Amino acid sequence: MDGALQTRKVLTSLLTAASLTLGATAWAEAPESATAQAPAPPAEPAQPPAPASPSGTRSYLSDVGGYFTAPLRWDGSDWAWFGGAVLAIGLAHRYDSQVRTHFVGTGPVSSANTNDTKDAVPAAAVFGGTWAFALLTQDRDGYREGWAMVEAGALSGVTAYALKFAAGRQRPDAASDPNEWFKGGGDSFPSLHSTAAFAIGTVLAESGNDDYRLVRRLLGYGVGVATSYERLKHNAHWLSDTVAGAALGISSAHFAMNRRYATGDESHLALVPIAGGAMLTYRVTLP
């Protein structure tokens, strides 16, 4: 799964750039015991146990640990993908001023309304439509797709917020210089709208069967591109903000799909919540 690997790489290193404090609630793993059950009477045959839900609490807590510790498991190829993402963001930064000038001209432009709610509508529509379809059709794959969107959006959103506060970059509606970093109150980098749109859109584009793959990709990635364009047009973000958001969203989506659809091996290194904190664990299977 080339796309899954590449984006997963981009993903967590963008995460690693931010210092995140994970507060975990008390969680105890109940061991699976083989308790003897009384034989069921012939008139009432025993029902088969329900399969464990992939969206259970244990699964999500494991995913959080795998997500934020992923760089510890990267190989050379992973770091190469991360380097490519950094290069793309740097190249976009080179054209930040030109793109801003194209949309709003030169000089400081203060806007009381950057259309935050309006620009979130396309991604929200895709997310809501996916869940509505799954609920109406009672489609198991639709539920998995919806949960992958939830997980990708949540993980990438937390990371985006952390990076915003760490970077402290001024938005283009507050400063005409794209190099205004580490300023109090700055929250431009990366674009949360672009991050969420690409996280949700990538799940739509790459999950499911291949019958409508082209349509899925046009719609999924189209939502991300259109959202990023609107953020630039409304002078809410710099070009490099949207590119960073796209990298973060796409990589988070592939991570979530790998976990939801079990396309990758279980992580050996994980951050496991315990009572009063968290514990870094390493699992190995012996022959």
214-237, pLDDT tens digit by residue? 999 999 999 999 999 999 999 999
28-47, pLDDT tens digit by residue? 222 333 333 344 444 444 34
Q: Is the pLDDT of residue 27 over 60?
A: no
Q: Which residues contact 49 (CB under 8 A, 6 or more apart)?
A: none
The phi, psi pair for 74, rounded to 5°, reads -70, 150
Q: Which has more confidence, 271 or 24?
A: 271
The Cα–Cα gap between 15 and 228 comes to 20
Q: Which has more confidence, 46 or 188?
A: 188
Q: Which band of pLDDT confidence, cut at 50, 70 and 90, is reported for residue 64?
A: confident
Whether residue 39 has a cis bond before it, omega within 30° of 0: no
Mean pLDDT on 72-96: 93
Q: Which band of pLDDT confidence, cut at 50, 70 and 90, is reported for residue 4?
A: very low
Mean pLDDT on 102-106: 87
Mean pLDDT on 15-31: 30
The Cα–Cα gap between 112 and 115 comes to 9
Decide: 219 and 204 in contact? Cβ < 8 Å: yes
Average pLDDT, the chain: 78
The Cα–Cα gap between 13 and 196 comes to 17
Q: Is the pLDDT of residue 82 over 70?
A: yes
Count of CB atoms within 10 A of residue 212's CB? 11
Mean pLDDT on 271-283: 55
Token pair in block for residue 33: 């015991």
pTM beyond 0.85: no
> CA angle, corner 199, sides to 121 and 170, nearest 5?
75
- % of the chain surpassing 70 pLDDT: 69
Decide: 26 and 276 in contact? Cβ < 8 Å: yes
Q: Is the pLDDT of residue 1 over 50?
A: no
Decide: 219 and 172 in contact? Cβ < 8 Å: no
At 266 the pLDDT is 44
